[in-house]
Structure 1
Amino acid sequence: MDPRLEPLFTPWKIGNCEIKNRIVLTSMGGTNLLGWMEKHHFDQEGARFIMEVAKNNAGLVLPGCQPVYNPMYGQWLYKNEKMYEDLKNWLPKFHETGAKLFVQLTAGFGRSFTISTMMETLYTNKLLRVLSKPFMDLDKITATASPSPNRWSDKVPSRELTVEEIKEYVAAFARCAKLLKEAGVDGVEIHAVHEGYLLDQFTLKYVNHRTDQYGGSFENRYRFPVEIVQAIKKECGDDFPVSLRYSVRSMTKGFREGALPGETFTEAGRDMEESEKAAKYLQDAGYDMLNCDNGTYDAWYWAHPPIYMPENCNLTDVEHIKRFVDIPVVCAGRMDPRAAAASIAEGKIDGAGFARQFLADQEWVTKMMEGREEDIRPCILCHNGCFNMCHYKGVPNDQDLSDSLHLSRCAVNAETMQWDKHYIQKTSSPKTVHIIGGGIAGMEAARVLKLKGHEPVIHERSGILGGTFIPASAESYKEKLRDLLTWYRRQMGLLNVEVHLREEIMDTSQFGNAPVIIATGAAPRLLKGVPGYELMIEACEYLNGREVGEVVAVIGGGLTGSEIAYELALKGKKPIIIEMKDDLISQKGVCLANSSYLREWFALHKVPVYLETTLKEVREGSIICRTKDGKEVEIPCDSVISSAGYISTPLVDQRKNTYLVGDCKKVGNLRSVVWSAYEAAMKI
């Protein structure tokens, strides 16, 4: 192990609870022990994930947050006593790992509850609203400190929570905590004065306009989380640890408007001055640890940092807040282990929180300890699998129901949290399998086939493995994607996969009856109907190194075009975005944390964006566009980059034992590429 990492592997205490090292798995919805958005039960799939993390040397493990009032079915968490018995029977095996378990409890989401189009229909139709109450009471689920707009939808506003309801929640926290303690859980964490969830909404002045004992003064705004910890300590004793998930700063300008790193702004929520006071106040109320980051749902990229956010984005603020408390402080949010270790060594923080990296590779801590960091499958911060709640103009949460109900799956690891669907089973009849295309899909298929006992052979027409993922990972801020590409190439070597470079296959008949996987990807959609289209530079050409001028028009404001425009601006160029739709990144599968960062970054840096605008002509030195009101406008520019999407380009093969994977089957994202390749390899 790198000696610089050693401070991560020293013991520490939360109250009287000793933790063997400073690695903390922070909670993610979907990794729950007692069910997620379903009837409460001891969740075997969540337990398997938690056990894998514990066996692989995490010190403190926090499963996904458990609402004390279930948004689905309206069930209180303390009412199903059997699941606590099941948890009690499971915990001795967990504790054999040496890890400690805190269960995170939440009062819920309030105005941050992710509303879908179906939920809008349930709420706006009076009859459906009544009929749906037994399994989804949106009026109760979305209630908050004061009447407020929902983060996702204008059609489902949030009403004010009553004092009677607040008292009911406080009592529920205490009852759940007692049951968890009796089951053998080492502590609980309260979620949270954090991320703009319900409890945080009470503390934030831009949401809370109450005039009773839960609004107005500082003490009143923080009364709800204070009463919760006091009730738990009364029920469970002072020696039962209670952590608090805590956002140091809200980094929020107002409803649905965050503040970017380095931005000068007026804080609408909790600023550092208030946080210094609040941290000590919450400690004195009884909390034994602060598990910290920044942000709210209105500034979601702080709590769920996309790849555009800087590494260790919350560390400086968390180090600052530790100076005002005597209890342990954990920092989370795109943490680099070496930076975390250095901060721990200097006494600036006490623990380091990690989440999504555990989804990509449950063994990553063990590999780090053993000096095998090159074997760690990296998280690329995409949110495609784990947290793809998507939002754009006119549409609330655009997310498949299966994704809403099954969070914390992973784009780069098809097995995580779906072991019953994706698994390696050794074959009894090994075959040679030819794979046409050496991009991510081809390499993932080869990896799974080799682990099953087959002999995959990759045929790649270029001189290097990687396919379109090479340009896709080329931007300066995409080092994590380049790490994933390196990991895949290394796997091909470690597994001794046969690879033929500079070999283009046009006809699969030469392989006889052998199975064939076609992973030939997609081709760019060229705007050949636009006069002057030949003057445009295709997106991958630019990403592969083609030079551009000073002012660059990017045709297409989807994710690829927006990321290219972002890269151009980072390099000092002057991008202009032309998009036919009424919003940027108006596409399913892109998490709001990712898309809102880019939209707000372009607005802050005054990048010209033409929405509902169509390219009509490309000229030397300008483009002609038609705006939504039918007017033609000439926009001067030095270069034009086309990012108009991609078209599947499968190699035609009529044989039965041929499988299409990745973008040649259907253009998607990295998740669809990896999962489809895994599934095809499973079938052989």
Structure 2
Amino acid sequence: MMTELFTAMNIAGCTVPNRLVVPAMVTNTCTKDGIVTDRFIKYIEEKAKGGWGLIITEDYAVNVNAKGYEMIPGLYNDEQLEGNKRLTETIHKYESKLFCQIYHPGRQSSKLVNGNVIPLAPSAIKDPICQEQPKEMTAEEIKSIVKDFGDTARRCKEAGFDGIEIHAAHGYLISEFLSPFTNKRVDEYGGCFDNRVRFLDEILEAVRKEAGKDFPVIVRISGNEYLLGGRTEAESFELARHCEEIGFDAIHVSNSMYASAPIDQIIAPMYTKHALNMEVSEQIKKLVNVPVIVTNRINDPKMADTLLKMGKADFIGMGRGSLADPYLPEKAKAGKFDSIHYCIGCLQGCEEKLLTGDSLTCLINPRVAREYENTMEKVEKGKKVMIIGAGPGGLTAAYTAAKRGHAVTIFEKKNDLGGQFKSAAYPLGKGELATFVSSMRKALMALNVPIHLNTEVTEELIQNEKPDAIIIATGATPFMPNIKGIESDKIVTAEEVLLGNYDVKAGPVVVCGGGEVGGETAHFLSQTVRDITVVEMQKDILNDMMIMTKICLTGYLHESGVKVLTEATVNEINEEGVVYTNTAGERLTLPAEMVISAFGYKSYNPLEACARKNCSEVYVIGGAVKAGSALHATRDGYEAGLTV
């Protein structure tokens, strides 16, 4: 039973209907001029429909050159007011409250997205991620940006926002002044604590002057930067007390900056422990009398309610959880926990896409940031839709088509749902992937979608079913290269090993292929096998992984003693082991009792011709088109489900 999550609480006179907060997350869906788009509004509206108590917008730029991403919003001129008035009017149709986060990225930016202007910083120290040499700010530039914050705050109030969040976390400009890691100044803005907080003090004063003393203004801070020479909890406790003393109405506790290690990052990967900021938040809550928000790696409403009951915070931020399922609060309130589509921490859509300049998306919820395209209205006349394959793409296609009113049936030749996504949950640290398949199963049951397992589709079956449309989601199969000995009894696929179909009792074991599957399988086996070698023909391993998770897994492989051999081309598998050629052209042999095939995958699509022969409307999606990630499979499934 949840006792705390759905109680109201005030932030400076603003009554928030429940304790669930959507923290700021970049979507990259506005115009280059910082104008709010219908796409942006619909994205936020979906969360308001879902019942989130407080929604905090993504970071708004305070001037034309204060952007960390090219397509983020701003309120630095009056032309930007109209769209934001439409945004606040839209959200105020619901119970949710809407705060506008305002920021300057500081050194965590680039000329490429920032009007070809050199990033500013308290000290000229390059960020290791953005790799742009910043300019040390002059006193005049500091005063100018303080004024920008005040002017932006005035427009926030004029636009109808319920409050403002000043972003003083995550290594952005205010955070850079606060931290001795990035602030090496010797003037009145550097050195001791009182000097390093001066920039924040002046910004709040300017914001209060323009927005009024009674307008809710909260602050976001990093409780621990997890950096040698960065701010730790000890000074963050001092900072929290200071923030209350100068007049902030709530404190939002997060962590880190771009320079922090991936496991401690702002946007936590799946390997990061849940609720990593809860202890810092609890201590801050004991020190101050204003509400405290805690965020990062919290995706379960029962966990959120427990954290509240334990006194860890007053509000719980669930950014990525709100992407995976905008309706999480509504479902939790109704007790439908097994219907929630939980965030799995993969970062493939919400982070990796942004790093390449694209807009945000989500593996679990490919509709996110695309809500403006349609309303998911029911079709006038439903079709009989046959889904072949129950991997991520097929499940998403079935869910989308059924939601729109089609009569959908799934056929899967295996004895369970999920396709390769089932085995993908077996590697260490990836157990949460199973929640996607589980929640999809529940959702399809609620939509009365029949699922036929252990059923291989044949032409006869298609003829008997007489579908109006067929979606082929047969996925991909392991690629087995044409090398001598590939049919040896000592070779098994990574998927078979992960699923426990083979008992790997002793080494040496050689994993052929150093992509994500090979690396994760080697790490998984390292629990019980001490002699494991990964062989990869490229110069590096894990090249198909999102960079944050790649760095984490690389470290885990090293810690577990897994040996890695790169620039090695496998030529043969024999009784002795794996024969490979190195860069010098030498043929060498790695001893192996068992060889695991992780060479990659190839598309598997044996039914398209048969389907087209018997049905006029056929769609081929995901791995059946080209072997790739689940992100692409669910996107294809969503689009096919909309198109039928």
Q: Is the structural similarity TM-score above 0.5?
A: yes
Deviations for 1:9-31, whole angstroms, at most 9, x for unmatched residues? 22323233332321111111118
Is the aligned partner of 1:540 residue 2:495?
A: yes
TM-score by structure 2 length? 0.88
Is the aligned partner of 1:20 residue 2:17?
A: yes
The residue aligned with 1:143 is 120
What amino acid maps onto 2:339 in structure 1? D
Residues 374-393 of structure 1: pairs in structure 2 closer than 5 A: 374-389=338-353
- Distance 1:627-1:150 versus aligned 2 partners, 3 A rule: farther
Q: Secondary structure at the match of 1:233?
A: helix
Deviations for 1:223-248, whole angstroms, at most 9, x for unmatched residues? 32232112212333332222111111
Bigger mean CA offset, 628-637 vs 410-419? 628-637
Deviations for 1:589-639, whole angstroms, at most 9, x for unmatched residues? x44332232234444555433343444454557545555565666555654
In structure 2, distance between residues paired with 1:451 and 1:306: 31
Q: 1:184 aligns with which of 160, 171, 182?
A: 160
In structure 1, distance between residues paired with 2:642 and 2:522: 39
What amino acid maps onto 1:311 in structure 2? H
In structure 1, distance between residues paired with 2:484 and 2:235: 56
The residue aligned with 1:269 is 230
Q: 1:318 aligns with which of 259, 275, 281?
A: 281
The residue aligned with 1:555 is 512
Bigger mean CA offset, 608-617 vs 370-379? 608-617
Is the aligned partner of 1:515 residue 2:482?
A: no
Deviations for 1:350-400, whole angstroms, at most 9, x for unmatched residues? 11111111112211101101111122122222222222158xxxxxx5x2x
Q: Secondary structure at the match of 1:523?
A: strand
Aligned length: 628
In structure 2, distance between residues paired with 1:429 and 1:628: 62
Q: Secondary structure at the match of 2:95?
A: coil
What amino acid maps onto 1:641 in structure 2? I
Q: 2:199 aligns with which of 204, 221, 224?
A: 224
Contact 1:357 1:378 (C-alpha < 8 Å) held by counterparts: yes
The residue aligned with 1:243 is 218
What amino acid maps onto 2:36 in structure 1? F
In structure 2, distance between residues paired with 1:659 and 1:387: 29
Bigger mean CA offset, 99-108 vs 440-449? 440-449
Q: After the TM superposition, which segments of 4 or more aligned residues of structure 1 sit over 6 Å from their partners?
A: 72-76
In structure 1, distance between residues paired with 2:284 and 2:572: 55
What amino acid maps onto 1:468 in structure 2? Q
* CA displacement at 1:570 relative to structure 2: 5.4
- Distance 1:308-1:638 versus aligned 2 partners, 3 A rule: farther
- Distance 1:569-1:269 versus aligned 2 partners, 3 A rule: farther
Is the aligned partner of 1:296 residue 2:257?
A: yes
Contact 1:105 1:188 (C-alpha < 8 Å) held by counterparts: yes
* CA displacement at 1:422 relative to structure 2: 5.8
- Distance 1:456-1:97 versus aligned 2 partners, 3 A rule: closer
Contact 1:422 1:679 (C-alpha < 8 Å) held by counterparts: no
Q: Secondary structure at the match of 1:577?
A: strand
Bigger mean CA offset, 538-547 vs 614-623? 614-623
Q: 1:50 aligns with which of 40, 44, 48?
A: 44
The residue aligned with 1:128 is none
TM-score by structure 1 length? 0.84
What amino acid maps onto 1:325 in structure 2? V
Q: 1:7 aligns with which of 4, 10, 22?
A: 4
Q: Secondary structure at the match of 1:542?
A: helix
In structure 1, distance between residues paired with 2:42 and 2:52: 14
Q: Secondary structure at the match of 2:635?
A: helix
- Distance 1:176-1:570 versus aligned 2 partners, 3 A rule: farther
Q: 1:657 aligns with which of 595, 613, 617?
A: 617
Q: Secondary structure at the match of 1:565?
A: helix
Is the aligned partner of 1:60 residue 2:54?
A: yes
In structure 2, distance between residues paired with 1:676 and 1:76: 29
The residue aligned with 1:264 is none
Q: 2:369 aligns with which of 405, 417, 424?
A: 417
* CA displacement at 1:564 relative to structure 2: 2.5
Deviations for 1:618-662, whole angstroms, at most 9, x for unmatched residues? 455754555556566655565432222100011253435321111
What amino acid maps onto 2:207 in structure 1? I
The residue aligned with 1:130 is none
- Distance 1:609-1:319 versus aligned 2 partners, 3 A rule: farther
Residues 32-181 of structure 1: pairs in structure 2 closer than 5 A: 36=30, 38-70=32-64, 71=67, 77-88=74-85, 91-92=88-89, 94-110=91-107, 112-113=108-109, 119=112, 136-140=114-118, 142-152=119-129, 154=131, 156-181=132-157
* CA displacement at 1:7 relative to structure 2: 1.0
The residue aligned with 1:126 is none
Q: Structure 1: any 5+ residue segments left out of the alignment? A: 120-134, 253-266, 391-396
The residue aligned with 2:537 is 580
- Distance 1:96-1:269 versus aligned 2 partners, 3 A rule: same
In structure 2, distance between residues paired with 1:287 and 1:465: 50
Contact 2:24 2:57 (C-alpha < 8 Å) held by counterparts: yes
In structure 1, distance between residues paired with 2:603 and 2:74: 47
Contact 2:477 2:602 (C-alpha < 8 Å) held by counterparts: yes
The residue aligned with 2:630 is 670
Is the aligned partner of 1:278 residue 2:278?
A: no
- Distance 1:48-1:383 versus aligned 2 partners, 3 A rule: same
Deviations for 1:305-335, whole angstroms, at most 9, x for unmatched residues? 2222222222123223333333322111122
Q: Secondary structure at the match of 1:291?
A: strand
In structure 1, distance between residues paired with 2:270 and 2:71: 36
The residue aligned with 1:202 is 177
The residue aligned with 1:30 is 27
What amino acid maps onto 2:627 in structure 1? V
The residue aligned with 1:439 is 391
Residues 308-457 of structure 1: pairs in structure 2 closer than 5 A: 308-335=271-298, 336-389=300-353, 397=355, 399=356, 401=357, 403=358, 406-407=359-360, 409-421=361-373, 424-457=376-409
What amino acid maps onto 2:631 in structure 1? R
* CA displacement at 1:530 relative to structure 2: 5.5
* CA displacement at 1:679 relative to structure 2: 1.5
Contact 1:414 1:422 (C-alpha < 8 Å) held by counterparts: no
Percent of residue pairs identical: 30
In structure 2, distance between residues paired with 1:594 and 1:63: 26
* CA displacement at 1:58 relative to structure 2: 1.8
- Distance 1:16-1:425 versus aligned 2 partners, 3 A rule: closer
Q: Secondary structure at the match of 1:503?
A: coil
In structure 2, distance between residues paired with 1:212 and 1:87: 38
The residue aligned with 1:258 is none
What amino acid maps onto 1:563 in structure 2? E
Q: Secondary structure at the match of 2:4?
A: helix
In structure 1, distance between residues paired with 2:515 and 2:110: 22
Contact 1:558 1:585 (C-alpha < 8 Å) held by counterparts: yes
In structure 1, distance between residues paired with 2:387 and 2:58: 38
Instruction: Give the aligned CA root-mean-square deviation in angstroms.
Output: 3.0
Contact 1:51 1:94 (C-alpha < 8 Å) held by counterparts: yes
In structure 1, distance between residues paired with 2:606 and 2:493: 22
* CA displacement at 1:108 relative to structure 2: 1.4
Contact 1:435 1:446 (C-alpha < 8 Å) held by counterparts: yes
In structure 2, distance between residues paired with 1:161 and 1:179: 25
- Distance 1:108-1:625 versus aligned 2 partners, 3 A rule: same
In structure 1, distance between residues paired with 2:210 and 2:314: 28
